[in-house]
Amino acid sequence: MTRFATSIFCDDVRHEVNGKVSFMGVYQGAMFCASFPAQLIKLCVSISVTTPIDEPFESVIFKGSFEGETIFEMPLTKEQIEEALAQAVRQADAKFRSIQVMMIVAPMLFSKPGNLKIEVTADGEPVRCPGLLVLQAPGDMQLVG
């Protein structure tokens, strides 16, 4: 199976008038915090999962957890998947189909450094997806608030 998933972690997601989506304050693999516990007003997570056109999804579950504690979970049924795909732009010669979901966790509290793990399960099988490391900032790192 050639399914894959991607994730974007950021401070805000804006839907533009022209149909574009803008991600503000994107974290690149890691988030550095001055101290712990660290609280964000909100954390936005965008997850896309892609499958070959001849292997349509029957069910997909998106789950986020931090150090074993579930932060969000969003299961999609076949009907919800079909509805989402019907609204998506489709190219005639497309070889893959993707589903994108966006979650806003507000507020987001990190009690200690750790890993914000993303789990995607499609039709009962895990699909690898990158998460976000939450780290203590080195003493010489200048943080902008």
Write out pLDDT tens, residues 38-76.
999 999 999 999 999 999 999 999 999 999 999 999 999
Q: What residue spans define the domains of the chain?
A: 4-128
Q: SS3 of 10, please?
A: strand
Angle at 51 between CA 48 and CA 54, to 5 degrees: 155
What pLDDT sits at residue 144? 61
Q: pLDDT (tens digit, 9 = 90+) per residue, 111-128?
A: 999 999 999 999 999 999
